[in-house]
Structure 1
Amino acid sequence: MRVEIWSDIACPWCYVGKARFEKALEAFPHRDEVEVVHRSFELDPGRAKDDVQPVITMLTAKYGMSEAQAEAGEDSLGAQAAAEGLPYRTRGRDHGSTFDMHRLLHFARERGRQAELLDLLYRANFAEERSVYNDDERLVGLATAAGLDPHDARAVLADPEAYAEQVRADEREAAGLGATGVPFFVLDRKYGVSGAQPAEVFAQALDQAWGERAPLTLIDGDAETCGPDGCAVPQP
């Protein structure tokens, strides 16, 4: 069975949702027969590479909230990440274009190192002090840590068209499947699960997808997602 996950490195609910899905997968009896493929979805497509700003600034501008409200939302997200065992810096993070990261993830998939790079990108973005935006050498370092050749990674970043079509194809496919936000999980093209659902929901979807053949059925509910208009910001 194949599970495809559309997500963005800038999406905190993708970071949390991935951990919840992996908790369900770990307990799934057929986990060794599940292939997980990560697909590209940019929350801010077309954003200039050098257009980087603090997350708090971005939140206040996008949602029209006060700085205190934005900080409270980040604190709540930090608590939810911590509940999944994930580190999360609630202050001092940046927001910017993730297009180059997605291109590198497609390159990493070809080399069999996509999962390793994705984990490192998430951790770097949400837990580490140095920004991952508009810093090719930072991305090369993460690619190297994931087991990729630094010269090859640098060449990918130097060519803006390298793996660009693969990123755009993923995004077109997400739109065709009805994904309006991320994370968006598609299980064997039988079930779609939208949002950072509890592990129990993912477990149910894995069981259903394993045992049934049916057109794509969307499991939506009220779980939080990130979309083109931004991420749902939890209120204290």
Structure 2
Amino acid sequence: MRVEIWSDIACPWCYVGKARFEKALDAFPHRDEVEVVHRSFELDPGRAKGDIQPVLTMLTKKYGMSEAQAQAGEENLGTQAAAEGLDYRTRDRDHGNTFDMHRLLHLAKEKGRQDELIGLFYRANFAEERSVFGDDERLVELAVAAGLDADDARRVLADPSVYATEVRADERESAELGANGVPFFVLDRTYGVSGAQPTEVFSQALTQAWGERPQLTLIQDGKSAEDGAEVCGPDGCAVPQS
């Protein structure tokens, strides 16, 4: 079974939702048969790469709330994160463009290190003091920590066209699936779960999606499976008898 997760590194509910989903996945009996793929979604795609500002400033301008309201929201997110065992800095975080991080995540996907990298991006953005915005070498360090080659990461960051098509394709697909916010979880292209739902909801979704997978029907040309055409198996290959 495949689970696709549309998310953005700048999204605190994606950070919390990933932890809740992983708790459900860890307890799922068929955990080893579930493939998780992270898809790109930018909350602020029009923001220039160099346009970096404090999170509280962004919240007050974008949503018209007071600084006190914005800070209260951050404190609430900190409480929610702590309940999932996550560190969360409620003050002095930055907000910026995440396009380069999404491009690096597509590199990580090719190398089989996508989940490692997105986890490091989340932690760096929400829990660590050093900003992930406006510092390519910071992103390279995180890529290396996830198991990627530093030169490969620098090559991606140096050319904005690398993996740009893949990021945009993910974003178009999310719109086609009806996702107008993140996190957005899609299970086997059959079930969608929107938002940082409780772990119990993810557990239910995994169980339901697993139980409703289509079963394979064998075509035997009118014969039973035992009387079907010759096959090779663990004991060797059947030899036709004259």
Determine if the TM-score, normalized by the shorter chain, exceeds 0.5.
yes
- Larger CA deviation: 63-72 vs 172-181: 63-72
1:146-187 deviations in Å (ceiling 9; x for gaps): 111101100100000000000000001100100000000000
Give secondary structure in 1 for the equivalent of 2:90: coil
Q: CA deviation at 1:47?
A: 1.2
1:34-70 deviations in Å (ceiling 9; x for gaps): 0000000000112100000000000111111111111
Whole-Å separation in 2 of the counterparts to 1:187 and 1:70: 33
Whole-Å separation in 2 of the counterparts to 1:63 and 1:106: 31
Structure 1 residues 119-198: aligned runs within 5 Å: 119-198=119-198
Match of 1:228 in 2: none
Match of 1:8 in 2: 8
1:107-148 deviations in Å (ceiling 9; x for gaps): 011011111111100000000011101110100010011111
Whole-Å separation in 1 of the counterparts to 2:212 and 2:188: 10
Match of 2:79 in 1: 79
Task: Report the aligned-residue RMSD.
Answer: 0.8
Structure 1 residues 216-231: aligned runs within 5 Å: none
Runs of 4+ in 1 over 2 A off after TM superposition: none
Contact 1:7 1:39 in 2 (8 A): yes
Whole-Å separation in 2 of the counterparts to 1:130 and 1:31: 34
Q: Are 2:109 and 1:109 aligned?
A: yes
Contact 1:190 1:213 in 2 (8 A): no
Share of identical aligned residues, percent?
A: 82
Whole-Å separation in 1 of the counterparts to 2:65 and 2:111: 43
Match of 1:95 in 2: 95
Amino acid at match of 2:6: W
Contact 1:87 1:127 in 2 (8 A): yes
Structure 1 residues 15-30: aligned runs within 5 Å: 15-30=15-30
Whole-Å separation in 2 of the counterparts to 1:72 and 1:59: 11
Amino acid at match of 1:186: V
Q: CA deviation at 1:91?
A: 0.3
Larger radius of gyration, structure 1 or 2?
Answer: 2
Q: Which is bigger in relative contact order (C-alpha 8 A, separation at least 6)?
A: 1
Give secondary structure in 2 for the equivalent of 1:39: strand
Whole-Å separation in 2 of the counterparts to 1:65 and 1:190: 38
- Larger CA deviation: 204-213 vs 184-193: 204-213
Give secondary structure in 2 for the equivalent of 1:193: strand
Match of 2:221 in 1: none
Whole-Å separation in 2 of the counterparts to 1:62 and 1:118: 25
Match of 2:203 in 1: 203
Whole-Å separation in 2 of the counterparts to 1:83 and 1:118: 20
**Structure 1: gaps spanning 5 or more residues:** 215-236
Amino acid at match of 1:205: A
Structure 1 residues 31-42: aligned runs within 5 Å: 31-42=31-42
- Aligned pair count reads 214
Q: CA deviation at 1:213?
A: 4.6
Whole-Å separation in 1 of the counterparts to 2:26 and 2:141: 29
